[in-house]
A and B are shown apart, each in its own frame.
Chain A
């Protein structure tokens, strides 16, 4: 799969996002929608997105690899053994606590952890990536005990996105990856 277009928009239900953040003890959310080589992004915090974009962390993000988008799954920073992504994240032994996306998240944004929830609907892949500034384990507890609520939120947001996306596509177009 080749990703050649990126759309970013923030016209989502911010209040509902704030409500789910309170439930999950998290602070920020990206919704990545990958459909036919096009990546559509919904972000509630432009600053984290800017860092991820400027430093090209997306190039090694396993969520954006076709191979890893085949199944519904929940992934945290420890879930993948993809060596390149580990270096990019900074979880490999050499760069841990020195550089990488996780380092930036903690040092610049005070973010402790992020968890990605992938959901496949037909030919589309959705990834809901929640960021938290709190104890990562508390956040994971919520994932274990409140998945029914999270699923309800995800389904609701997907329904909204499917209506909103066609309207928003003209707004913000950028080249993401070169051929």
Chain B
């Protein structure tokens, strides 16, 4: 049965995921975690640290309306609070049940595209009286992003074989909504236009004649991967390790990116890189 396949990751690894999440869980006061990985062919692998919650998702078919589980084209990189979702059915069903019966009062997700055109994501939840999670999330966004990325690297080693062999066809399980639903993290075109308008008016593009910088910027997929990791690690060595590339190769990519973005120095690169993240370009 497809639902058995959906639950396989939880059955095999819910304790392992909880163990790997522990440092982050202790820091943020997290009580529950979820990992999902959907590739470009709509094949899913996922783990719930709380097998009871995973079971409930299957029984009630909450995966059908969960905006965390969508086609990779419909989700972008970044953070989102579950309560920010405007999808009433999701809020009235899964979110309500998770809040009342599983003590998931505050929850957020982080999603990031993978180099194969899919995405991975983590969702974390905490109890009603824990305001530490959102507070630290707001104040230490970059540190938490890095910690989640490290968590993904560690977990990927554990589930490497399953990601190859034990994914399931999620489009069939979820139905039409899989291709239609917007993800929890989603940059609307109108929002991006507002950001570009603001950046132009705020003089972010400077007087260097690079008004078309944002519109015409063209980074290769590998340069995008490098920049995305470089922004959180600030280390060429760590980028080379994460992407399994030579340090000199990464250094050369970074130099190319600096030139393409008209950056004078490293800080300039970080600022422009973060802006590109905001615009959904990374």
Q: Which residues of A contact B (CB under 8 A)?
A: 15-16, 19-20, 22-23, 73-76, 78-79, 115, 135, 137-138, 140-141, 143-149, 152-153, 156
Contact = CB atoms under 8 A, between A and B. Distances in A.
Contacts of A20: 198
B81 A141 contact: yes
6 contacts: A16-B201, A23-B194, A23-B198, A144-B108, A144-B137, A145-B278
B195 A140 contact: no
Contacts of A15: 201
B195 A149 contact: yes
B194 A140 contact: no
Contacts of B161: none
B191 interface: yes
A144 B194 CA distance: 17
A15 B200 CA distance: 13
A128 B277 CA distance: 23
B198 A19 contact: yes
Closest A-B pairs by Cβ, 3 of them: A148-B274, A137-B84, A144-B79
Nearest to A146: B278
Contact of B131 (A79, A140, A141, A156): A79
B27 interface: no
A22 B194 contact: yes
Interface string B129-161: 001001101110100000000000000000000
B141 A144 contact: yes
A148 B277 CA distance: 9
Chain A residues touching B, majority SS: helix
A33 B79 CA distance: 30
Contacts of B135: 75-76, 78-79
A74 B138 contact: yes
A149 B134 contact: no
B136 to A, nearest CB: 10
Contacts of B274: 147-148
A19 B197 contact: yes
B203 interface: yes
Chain B residues touching A, majority SS: helix
Nearest to A138: B84
Contacts of B277: 145, 148
A152 B279 CA distance: 14
Contact size range, B: 20 to 34
B25 interface: no
A15 B197 CA distance: 12
Given A138-B84, A147-B274, A149-B195, A78 B131 contact: yes
A78 B136 CA distance: 12
Given A73-B139, A79-B131, A19 B83 contact: no
Given A23-B198, A74-B139, A75-B135, 20 more contacts: A19-B197, A22-B194, A76-B134, A76-B135, A78-B134, A78-B135, A79-B135, A135-B84, A140-B134, A141-B81, A143-B138, A145-B78, A145-B278, A146-B195, A148-B274, A149-B199, A152-B199, A152-B271, A152-B275, A156-B203
B198 A140 contact: no
Contacts of B197: 19, 22
Interface centre among B86, B138, B199 (most CB of A within 10 A): B138
A148 B278 contact: yes
Contacts of A137: 81, 83-84
Nearest to B270: A148
Contacts of B215: none
Contacts of A74: 138-139
B280 to A, nearest CB: 9
B80 interface: yes
Contacts of B138: 74, 76, 115, 140, 143-144
B213 interface: no
Contacts of B84: 135, 137-138, 140-141
B29 to A, nearest CB: 13
Contact of B202 (A115, A143, A147, A153): A153
B1 to A, nearest CB: 35
Given A19-B197, A23-B195, A140-B134, A149 B80 contact: no
Nearest to A115: B138
